[in-house]
Amino acid sequence: MKIHSLIRTITDNNVQFAFVLDLVAGNFSYDGTNGPSHWGKEHKMCLGKYQSPIDIEEKDVTTMTFPELQFSGIEGSHKAYMTNNGHTVMIQSFDSNVPSISGGSLNGTYVFQQLHFHWGQNDNLGSEDLINNHSFSMELHVVFWKKEYDSYEEAIKRNDGLTVLGYLYQAMDEPNPIFESIVQQMPDIIGVGSNVTISDNNVLKKLVAPDIASAQNYFTYSGSLTTPPCLEIVQWIDFVKPQHISHEQLAAFRSIQSTDGTNLTHNFRPVQPLDGRTVYRNIAGVESSTISPVSKQTPSTASIPASSPAKKPPETANNDVTESPMDDNKNGENSASSMWAVSPFAVILGVTFLLPYQ
Ligand SMILES: *[C@@H]1O[C@H](CO)[C@@H](O)[C@H](O)[C@H]1NC(C)=O
Ligand SMILES: *[C@@H]1O[C@H](CO)[C@@H](O)[C@H](O)[C@H]1NC(C)=O
Ligand SMILES: *[C@@H]1O[C@H](CO)[C@@H](O)[C@H](O)[C@H]1NC(C)=O
Ligand SMILES: *[C@@H]1O[C@H](CO)[C@@H](O)[C@H](O)[C@H]1NC(C)=O
Ligand SMILES: *[C@@H]1O[C@H](CO)[C@@H](O)[C@H](O)[C@H]1NC(C)=O
Ligand SMILES: [Zn+2]
């Protein structure tokens, strides 16, 4: 609120305005001289070797069975705020019972910090991660910090400080009820720095854990923040199954203003080189209503296999990967049936019948 009113009082002075925004969230943008290809000038890490997003090629992933990915603090309602930070629509909660996650490719417990969205100038693009070079219309990022480091600010100084859940959305005719309150309140956050309480107290749980049934079906790899300062401290968990949003609901996101005063019509970073990194796909719980033996693994085996390369910092991931017994699994590549091999029409049709997790 303080920053918001500060911005409001000095909008008549463009120089100071830009300066204050720089303090708020950086002066980067998605076009022109502050666009993605220029981020590296101010933020050297944006030129790093292990950046995000990436194109995930299904034929190149290494299948893997991780312990069950576990969600806590999902049930119950959360008071949540929605902000236009000039780069995206961001949702936060300051409740004591915010969600946390553990298991999967993670070493430790990670606590919810914020979630936000990436979209494109039209419905054919907008996701940051690509699957088999295919863009989706929107991507949700749910950002968590490692609890052991006590705060987000401390966690981002560590190379395993953050994990981000990535959810893909495909635009269709059918509205997604999850976005009802967000879209309805979007007019209240048109201006940069504005901030509202979301009327739906269940919005956080519906976004963070939309579909427990497909929550074990994900890709995971080591990468970076997709905005400056592009820190290479993120274990990415990208869920395979896309959800849907209507064309109209998605259009509401494009109506908010960006730091340069124009409408924020798009805010996705182009894909970055994989550069030898391994992308894993968890094979537990692949689109199956029957519980497979792998997904029965007791989560209480809190000791994650020490050999898990996916959670190692990027610096070591390359050198150490050959020591991993998981290389045995490479023979199992592509053993899981591919939903991406079917026609786009079939995928869209499939998306139509997704039910939001209640
Ligand atoms: C941000 O502002 C600084 C100084 O005003 C400028 O040098 C830089 O190129 C700008 N852009 C980015 C993306 O940081
Ligand atoms: C992905 O598409 C781009 C063009 O959009 C192309 O340059 C690139 O080679 C493609 N990558 C793969 C792995 O097919
Ligand atoms: C939004 O408002 C709430 C309540 O005043 C505040 O705690 C939070 O810090 C604000 N968020 C931002 C990003 O300004
Ligand atoms: C920008 O968004 C506003 C709604 O916030 C809308 O009324 C306006 O038409 C949009 N401008 C352009 C150029 O699309
Ligand atoms: C897991 O994290 C702890 C604390 O950060 C660290 O001491 C330990 O070495 C990590 N384990 C592995 C297998 O990376
Ligand atoms: Zn993001």
Split into its structural domains, the chain has a count of 2
340 and 279 housed in the same domain:
no
The Cα 10–Cα 20 span in angstroms is 9
| CA 90 to ligand 3: nearest atom | 13
- Looking at residue 301, its pLDDT comes to 29
From ligand 3's centre to the CA of 244, what distance in Å? 29
127 and 145 housed in the same domain:
yes
The Cα 135–Cα 327 span in angstroms is 29
φ/ψ of residue 65, rounded to 5: -115, 105
Residues with a beta carbon under 5 angstroms from ion ligand 6: 141, 226
- Looking at residue 156, its pLDDT comes to 98
Q: Which residue has the CA at smallest separation from atom 13 of ligand 4?
A: 263
Only one residue has tokens 């390369």, namely: 309
Of 76, 53, 34, whose CA–CA distance to 221 is shortest? 53
131 and 68 housed in the same domain:
yes
Q: Which residue has the CA at smallest separation from atom 6 of ligand 1?
A: 42
144 and 264 housed in the same domain:
yes
- Looking at residue 260, its pLDDT comes to 85
From ligand 1's centre to the CA of 40, what distance in Å? 10
Tell me the sheet residues that pair with 131.
56, 134
| CA 92 to ligand 3: nearest atom | 11
From ligand 3's centre to the CA of 80, what distance in Å? 9
Task: Among the bound ligands, name the one nearest to the CA of residue 107.
Answer: 5
The Cα 296–Cα 56 span in angstroms is 27
299 and 343 housed in the same domain:
no
223 and 332 housed in the same domain:
no
Neighbours of 232 (CB within 10 A): 19
Long-range CB pairs of 187-192 (<8 Å, 24+ gap) are 187/255, 189/82, 189/83, 189/84, 189/89, 189/256, 190/84, 190/255, 190/256, 190/257, 191/84, 191/257, 192/7, 192/21, 192/84, 192/85, 192/86, 192/257, 192/258, 192/259
75 and 201 housed in the same domain:
yes
Q: Is 263 in the pocket of ligand 4 (CB under 6 A)?
A: yes
pLDDT tens digits, residue range 207-253?
A: 999 998 999 999 999 999 999 999 999 999 999 999 999 999 999 99
202 and 342 housed in the same domain:
no
312 and 332 housed in the same domain:
no
Q: Which tokens go with 298?
A: 């007791």
Ligand 5 probe mutation, 66, 106, 107, 323, most atoms within 8 A of CB: 107
255 and 199 housed in the same domain:
yes
- Looking at residue 339, its pLDDT comes to 42
From ligand 2's centre to the CA of 133, what distance in Å? 6
CATH number, domain containing residue 129: 3.10.200.10
- Looking at residue 293, its pLDDT comes to 35
212 and 190 housed in the same domain:
yes
Are residues 171 and 244 in contact, defined by beta-carbon separation less than 8 angstroms?
Answer: yes
Active-site annotation, residues: 87
From ligand 6's centre to the CA of 12, what distance in Å? 30
**Pairing outcome for strands 100-102 and 130-131:** unpaired
Give 173: exposed, middle or buried? Use CB within 10 Å, 0-12, 13-18, 19+: exposed
Q: Is 57 in the pocket of ligand 2 (CB under 6 A)?
A: yes
Only one residue has tokens 């005063």, namely: 261
244 and 346 housed in the same domain:
no
Say whether the peptide bond before residue 229 is cis (omega within 30 degrees of 0).
yes
Q: Which residues of the chain have pLDDT under 70?
A: 1-25, 285-358
Of 141, 107, 113, 110, whose CA–CA distance to 127 is shortest? 141
Q: Which residue has the CA at smallest separation from atom 8 of ligand 4?
A: 255
pLDDT tens digits, residue range 258-284?
A: 988 899 999 999 999 999 999 999 997
Domain range holding 357?
Answer: 328-358
